[in-house]
Amino acid sequence: MARFPLRKILLAALVGGTVFFSACAASVNVVERTGTQDRRVVTDSKTLEMATPLEVRTGTVSDNVMRVQLELMNHTSEIGRVVYLVEWFDEQGMKIDVPAAWNQLNIQPSKIESITAVAPNASARDFRISLKRCE
């Protein structure tokens, strides 16, 4: 009789362990979210006085081409103007040489706006978004 409760305990442990480890399994979702301290977002104190980077999301579009989105919040009572530049890097960390231009983004007071960019090709594995405040 002592063996029967042991079997129940072992079965419960097995089922519990299966549930625990399946909950910890890697997600198949292709979106990665990061907080505001992302090293890939480069800015200065003047920009941070006006806008706060909230979240960076990465994913892929067709043919495994990388896509990135940055959310910025204007925490002032005036329209915020920033310019941004997105640079792309390959798996060795080398900059992909493609034409890049600074783009302007206007953010309404106390609102959140997104910057979205798609890599020029499938060799892009990382990125850097540079932000500057427009006076």
Exposed / middle / buried, residue 29 (Cβ in 10 Å: 0-12, 13-18, 19+): exposed
**How high is the pLDDT of residue 38?**
84
Of the chain, the percentage scoring pLDDT greater than 90 comes to 65
Indicate yes or no: pTM above 0.75.
no
The number of CA neighbours under 13 Å toward the Cβ of 43 is 23
Nearest to 81 by CA among 101, 107, 44, 102: 107
Rounded CA separation 132/84 (Å): 6
Summarize pLDDT for 86-96 with one digit per residue, the tens. 999 999 999 99
Position 135 pLDDT exceeds 80: no
φ, ψ for residue 92 (rounded to 5)? -95, 0
Summarize pLDDT for 14-31 with one digit per residue, the tens. 555 544 444 433 333 344
Query: In this structure, are residues 15 and 22 in contact, taking their beta carbons and an 8 Å threshold?
Result: no
Tell me the torsion sign for CA atoms 130, 40, 94, 60. Answer: negative
Domains parsed from the chain with CATH numbers: 32-133 (2.60.40.3230)
